[in-house]
Amino acid sequence: MSDKVHVTLTVNGRSVDADVEPRVHLADFLRHDLGLTGTHVGCEQGACGNCTVISDGVALKSCLTLAVQADGSEIETVESLATGDQLSPLQQAFKDAHALQCGYCTPGFLMTITALERRGGALSREELRGELAGVICRCTGYETIIEAAEDHLAEVAARG
């Protein structure tokens, strides 16, 4: 059971070498082995999306992926967004819109929207409701999250 497997992956631009137990999922690996506790676990069943990270450019629920499956991939977590003291534009949009309360779900939304942003284009509120339905927030009622996402994506699209 504790026969560990060697993995090599990139996390937030840094290369990581580690030996992991095969049964450890990526969220636990990030949190408890790498100390990247910004990625949160809300269900471990793929339902809450609070554990969403970006893997090779695509949003991924890190509780549904084993750490060993992430071998060779490029992972980005919420810790990669801010630069020094500066919040990223998306983080700032969340702050301006009061899109977080307890903040537990927030990293999941930030990474989901970051992946949407890379896909390109502005989205309507209705489209955003669908795109963001994979992340559960129990505090905000989503209205302000959608507002932050809409504003941010529209701004990014306008910048071209």
Partner 1 sequence: MVDLLHRHTAAGTGLGVSLPRVEDDRLLRGEGRFVDDLHPFQALHMAVLRCPFPRAQVVSIDISAALELTGVEQILVGSQVAERSEPISVLRPVPGAPDLPFFALATDVAHFEGQPVVSVVAQSRAIAEDALDLIDVEFDPLPHVSDVVSAMEPDAPLLHPNELATNRLVTNNQERGNPDGELAASAVVASDRFFVNRVTALPMEGRAVVAEWRQGARELIVQHSTQTPHLVRKQLAEALRLDEGSIRVLTDDVGGGFGMKLGIYPEDVLACLHALELGRPVKWVEDRTEHFRASTHARESVHDASIGATADGRFTAMTNAYATDLGALNSPFGSAQLTSITFGGPYNVEHIRTERLVTVTSKTPIGAYRGYGQPESNFVREVLIDRIARQLGRDPLDLRLQNLLRPEDLPWTNHTGAILDSGDYAATLRMATERVGYDALRAAGRGPRADGRLTGVGLSCFIERTGYPSARFLANRGSQFGAHEGVTLRANRSGGIDLITGVSSFGQSSETTFAQLLSEVTGIDAGLVRVHTGDTGASPVNTGGFASRTTIAAAGAIELAGLEFVGKALRIAAWLLEIDDPTSLAVRGTDIGPRDSDGPTVPLADVFSTAILGQGIPPSEAPGLEATAYYEPQAAAYAFGSAAAVVAVDPETGDFTIERFVMVHDCGVPVNPMLVEGQVLGALAQGFGAALMEELRYDPDTGQLLNGSLLDYFAPTAADLPHVELLHTEVPSPVTPLGVRGVGEIGTIPPGAAIVNAVCDALSDPQIELSRLPVTPEAVWRALADAAAKGGRA
Footprint of ligand FES on this chain (CB under 6 A)? 41-44, 46-51, 61, 63, 100-106, 137-140
Per CB under 8 A, which region of 64-72, 115-123, 125-133, 150-158 contacts partner 1?
A: 125-133
Tell which one of 62, 113, 140, 151 touches partner 1 (CB under 8 A).
Answer: 140
Regarding 137 and contact with partner 1 (CB under 8 A), the answer is yes
Per CB under 8 A, which region of 67-75, 76-84, 114-122, 150-158 contacts partner 1?
A: 76-84
- Can you say whether the dihedral through the CA atoms of 41, 46, 47, 53 is positive or negative? positive
Of the candidates 118, 123, 141, the one whose C-alpha atom is nearest the C-alpha of residue 54 is 118
Tell which one of 107, 114, 116, 123 touches partner 1 (CB under 8 A).
Answer: 107
Tell which one of 5, 10, 16, 37 touches partner 1 (CB under 8 A).
Answer: 37
74-76 vs 52-55, strand pairing mode: antiparallel
Question: In angstroms, what is the minimal distance from the CB of 122 to partner 1?
Answer: 17
Per CB under 8 A, which region of 54-62, 66-74, 93-101, 114-122 contacts partner 1?
A: 93-101
Regarding 19 and contact with partner 1 (CB under 8 A), the answer is no
Regarding 123 and contact with partner 1 (CB under 8 A), the answer is no
**Is the separation of the CB atoms in 61 and 48 below 8 Å?**
no
Tokens of 145: 């999250």
Closer to partner 1 by Cβ: residue 72 or 95: 95
Closer to partner 1 by Cβ: residue 82 or 157: 82
Angstrom distance (rounded) from CA 96 to CA 61: 26
